[in-house]
Chains A and B, each alone.
Chain A
């Protein structure tokens, strides 16, 4: 079952903050966040594991509510380079299968 991301799109000015949400109807073992710029490959941002362990980017933070099967990605003091499409990928167990959401397009303007 594909996770649902919200919002679908957001436009910010440089320096503003944004939150992207990812919600699943299934129990999750891990949530993975990737950013894809137009015409490029997805790039890893964060992994959040059941139990609280995290691995990822210095300037981007995220949370994982296991009970609600939800994750949020927090982008603070946004920069022009943050523009792109953000995907969350979810896994119900520790396998190689990730189910990605439909993506959230973020545009940061000067």
Chain B
């Protein structure tokens, strides 16, 4: 158990819908990262928040947005869902803002299926 929690574990929805994935980081970690893992794309970095502020961005679609709240939990919002958005979404956390010397701890993931 990494100490990072993600809810829900599984999510099944239809195309065009909107969903929210939730992540709580390890106690003491200020950075939260979101990743998408699909079979053909591997582990793709989406976005990082540090202490409530966006700090790094990957190839995150405009239909996707995230935020980190004052209690440090984070939410990833996915809207206008398409079949291709079906994937495993991981949240990770770390202590610092940069990754030099900072290991990431990954949550168990949310499996999203878009029908």
Partners in one complex: yes
Residues of A whose CB lies within 8 Å of any CB of B are 2, 29-30, 32, 34, 40-44, 47, 49, 53, 55, 87, 89, 91, 94-103
Which residues of B are at the interface with A, using a C-beta cutoff of 8 A? 2, 31, 33, 42-45, 48, 50, 55-58, 90, 94, 97-109
Report chain B residues within 8 Å CB of A44.
103-105
Q: B104, A29: Cβ atoms under 8 Å?
A: no
Which of A34, A41, A98, A103 is the one whose CB lies under 8 Å from B107? Answer: A41
**Complex contacts, B98 vs chain A, CB 8 Å:** 94-96
Q: Is the CB of B42 within 8 A of A96?
A: no
Q: A41-B107, A41-B108, A42-B106 are in contact. Are A98 and B45 (CB under 8 A)?
A: yes
5 closest A-B pairs by CB: A96-B48, A94-B98, A41-B106, A44-B103, A96-B56
* Interchain CB contact under 8 A, A49 and B42: no
Most buried by A among B44, B100, B104, B105: B100
Q: Cα distance A102–B43 when bound, in Å?
A: 8
B43 touches A55 (CB 8 A): no
30 contacts between A and B (CB under 8 A): A29-B100, A30-B99, A30-B100, A32-B99, A32-B103, A41-B90, A41-B107, A42-B90, A44-B103, A44-B105, A47-B100, A47-B101, A49-B101, A55-B101, A55-B103, A89-B43, A94-B98, A95-B97, A95-B99, A96-B31, A96-B48, A96-B55, A96-B94, A96-B98, A97-B48, A97-B56, A98-B45, A99-B45, A102-B42, A103-B42
